[in-house]
Amino acid sequence: MAVNKGTAILLAGAISSGGGAAYFTDDYISNKVRDEQERLSNQYKPTNVVVAKDDLRVGDVLTYDNLAIREMPAGYIHAAAVRSEHADTVVGKRIMQSLNAGESLLENFLASRTNSGFSNLIEKGNRAITFPVDIVSSMSGLLRPGDKIDLMVTLSQGKDVTMPLLKNINILATGGIVDEEGLLSEDGAYQTITISVSPLNAAKITHARQIGNMTVVLRSGKENESGLESVELTQPVTVQNLFGKTTKKVRKSPRVEIIVGG
Per-residue model confidence as pLDDT tens digits over 214-253? 888 888 876 655 444 555 666 788 887 777 765 555 556 6
| Residue 247 CB-half CA count within 13 A | 3
What's the CA gap between 199 and 125, in Å, rounded? Answer: 8
**pLDDT-based confidence at 192, cuts 50/70/90?**
confident
CA angle 211, 212, 218 (to 5 degrees): 135
Q: For 98-121, what is each residue's pLDDT tens digit?
A: 888 889 999 888 866 444 556 767
SS3 113: coil
Alpha-carbon distance of 143 to 171, in angstroms, equals: 8
Average pLDDT, the chain: 75
Output the CA torsion 37→40→41→46 (10° steps).
Answer: -170
**Is-above-0.85 flag for pTM?**
no
To the nearest 5 percent, what fractions of the chain are helix, strand and coil?
A: 25, 25, 45
pLDDT tens per residue across span 23-75:
556 666 777 777 776 766 666 788 899 999 988 887 788 888 899 999 888 87
Domain 46-109, CATH number (from 3.20.20.60, 3.50.50.60, 3.40.50.720, 3.90.1210.10): 3.90.1210.10
| Residue 226 CB-density burial (10 A; 0-12 exposed, 13-18 middle, 19+ buried) | exposed
